[in-house]
Copies of this chain bind each other. A is one copy, B any other.
Amino acid sequence: MDAKNVTITDSEWMVMRAIWTMGHATSRELIDAMNELEGWSASTTKTLLHRLIQKQAVAQHGGSRPFTYKPVVGEKESMVAAADDLFDHMCAMRAGSTIAGVIQSRELSRADIANLQAILAEKAKTAPEEVQCNCLPGDQTF
């Protein structure tokens, strides 16, 4: 199952974060975690877990109760897919400054920074002078 093909809602995402972090979990573990993190009732977590199973973001394992639930889509791929989807709906010309804003407000490790610097150095080799706006059809600068 490809992370790009699964749309995870905000509340489902909260459940996924718990499953990704634990690697695999029982419904009791998820219910307790979501109650502590968000104050949700057990019913809420069960509903969201069921919806995630239906959209194949999560798989149910084990032959007897309590079942174990494991993520089908990876956290890293899902995060990138969600961020790409967001940026795909935004002005291409302003992606650079938007990414700059995000970087400024995130904590990044030395390894993260080194990785980003390497990627940017590579992109610099073929970077255009400017990126075209893609907001209107046949669009030029207004």
> Which positions in A face B, CB cutoff 8 Å?
10, 13-14, 17-18, 20-23, 33, 36-37, 75-76, 79-80, 82-84, 86-87, 89-92, 94-113, 115-117, 119-121, 123-124, 127-131, 133, 135-137, 139, 142
Contacts and interface: CB of A to CB of B under 8 A. Distances in A.
A33 B106 CA distance: 36
B86 A86 contact: yes
B76 A142 contact: no
B102 A119 contact: no
B109 A130 contact: yes
Contacts of A10: 89
A29 to B, nearest CB: 10
